[in-house]
Amino acid sequence: MSESKSAVLEQLRELLGDSGVRETPDDFLPDIILKPSSTEEVSEILKICSAAGQAIVPIGGKSGLASGHHQTDSELGLSLERMNAIEEIDTANRTMTVQAGCILQLAHEAAEEHDLLLPLDLGARGSATVGGNVATNAGGNMVIRYGMVRDMVLGLEVVLADGTVVSSMNKMLKNNTGYDLKQWFIGAEGTLGIITRVVFRLRPQPRSQNTALLAVDDFASVRRLLHWLDGHTAGTLSAFEVMWPEFYDHITREGGNHTPPLPRGSAHYVLVETLGSNPAADADSFENVLAEAMEQGMVSDAVLTRSQSERNALWEIRDDVLDFFVLGPFIPFDISVTVDRMEGFIGDIRRGAEAANFDICVIFGHLGDCNLHVLLGNRDAASFDPEAVEAFLYDTVERYQGSVSAEHGVGLAKRAQLPRSRSPEELRLMMGLKKMLDPDNILNPNKIFTVDQIAAS
């Protein structure tokens, strides 16, 4: 450990006590993690670190997929795991005030106890923290209905690099009093401030949930179906997940983990769901809307769920991405392309992958959100060239004016790709904000931008 780091650590130990500093190394974390128990302690930590130029990496549930929480030996981790209280559920205003270290699933359960919904759901719900969710502007399974995290945060408390606490714990839906400062920190991946508390907008718990898996023969019908369902389900459409055959056929293969609810061999499988308020009427109208979609030729086959276990079985098919690791090494991409360009994009990916011998090419995604996940690689590990795979995929995204990161953020993993999706003017403005809020680069340095890029901007 460097001399300056150990001097800083001595001050921090004095501030936090032994229980506030963890030194047990594991595979992913650095040797030292600070564990403050209050916003005031976070502020004091940052005052000490900014005076010493000591870099800090905020750590949530470590479920991030862009390496934003990774750190080097010279950096200190800062985990909000002890700041995990649900401070208030305000049923009159339908808000939740929660500390950033709270696990997402516990926040869900607390809202549910009051018959309310925190409408953010993702596979890592049991380990991800709400602070990490806000820092990454997480998306997940209900974006088409409720938006991304950005759309459900009403208020935020943040500690700046110099220890200043900015408390914007607004609870009002409308509040146009100057710049919306919280937006700077949502999705900033811990590079502009440490998020310590959040006010979420809650929604009524849905009373009905209707789910179906649909087979669709061509992409034009997928697009028509999206608009058809959106227009005929009275704003209740909460999922529109598309799986292409490489996904569905593998997941439901003979001897695999899932039985196929619909026969294999269709060009697209669409998992659709609505969340409503009237169980009997919603079920009828869901069935009618799907029947009409079939009559109009948008859907060639369908299976509707009748129980929670049937619903779970459909979602397990969509969520079982780990099952693809048996194929061989691949890179899981998370990108966006507008729906009108998606067919051309997918065609180019398929043809290009074939020409380059990337024989793992699996496509699925939250189509209603313009978000595709693409698994691209090689069954034969010796042929796998991650750089070639990345270059090919991101070149194609850039050509289609898409986004190199739909919902996972930039972190270290996509830093080099950022100029493909953002203009020089946008990048300069972002780096200007970073310089203003963190002039010594102590907050999650080298994430999103390198320290050198910022210095040169």
- Note the residues at the interface with ligand FAD (CB under 6 A): 57-65, 68-69, 80, 100, 122-124, 128-129, 131-133, 135-136, 138-140, 189-190, 194-195, 407-408, 411, 444, 447
Sign of CA dihedral 80, 83, 89, 95: negative
Query: How many degrees, rounded to 5, is the angle at CA 23 between CA 17 and CA 29?
Result: 130
Longest Cα pair distance anywhere in the chain, in angstroms? 74
CB of 192 to ligand FAD, least distance (A): 8
- Cβ burial, residue 110 (10 Å; 0-12/13-18/19+): middle
Q: Which is nearer to ligand FAD, 280 or 326 (CB)?
A: 326
Q: Which is nearer to ligand FAD, 59 or 116 (CB)?
A: 59
- Element (DSSP H or E) covering residue 92: none
CB of 434 to ligand FAD, least distance (A): 14
CB of 389 to ligand FAD, least distance (A): 21
Q: Which is nearer to ligand FAD, 99 or 266 (CB)?
A: 99
CB of 331 to ligand FAD, least distance (A): 15
Residue 323 one-letter amino acid: D
CB of 341 to ligand FAD, least distance (A): 22
Comparing C-alpha atoms, which of 197, 177, 193 is closest to residue 185? 193
Q: Are 331 and 375 in contact (CB under 8 A)?
A: yes
Q: Which is nearer to ligand FAD, 135 or 161 (CB)?
A: 135
Q: Which residue has the tokens 């061999």?
A: 265
Q: Which is nearer to ligand FAD, 58 or 155 (CB)?
A: 58
Go through 70-82 and write b for each residue having 16 or more CB atoms within 10 A of its CB, e for each that does not: bbeeebbbbbbbb
Give the DSSP letter string of 266-279. -SEEEEEEEEES-H
Q: Which is nearer to ligand FAD, 25 or 231 (CB)?
A: 25
Pairing between β-strand 330-336 and β-strand 371-377 as defined by DSSP bridges: antiparallel
CB of 62 to ligand FAD, least distance (A): 4
CA distances from 25 to 33, 127, 249, 411, 422 (A): 9, 19, 41, 22, 37
CA atoms within 13 A on the CB side of 404: 24
E strands within 67-128?
76-79, 86-90, 95-99, 116-117
Q: Which is nearer to ligand FAD, 63 or 266 (CB)?
A: 63
CB of 241 to ligand FAD, least distance (A): 11
Conformational region of residue 33, where left means phi above 0, alpha means psi within -120 to 50, and beta covers everything else: beta
CB of 421 to ligand FAD, least distance (A): 16
Give the residue closest to ligand FAD by C-beta: 132
- Cβ burial, residue 92 (10 Å; 0-12/13-18/19+): exposed
CB of 285 to ligand FAD, least distance (A): 28
Q: Which is nearer to ligand FAD, 129 or 285 (CB)?
A: 129
E strands within 122-207?
153-159, 165-168, 194-201, 203-204
Q: Which is nearer to ligand FAD, 63 or 305 (CB)?
A: 63
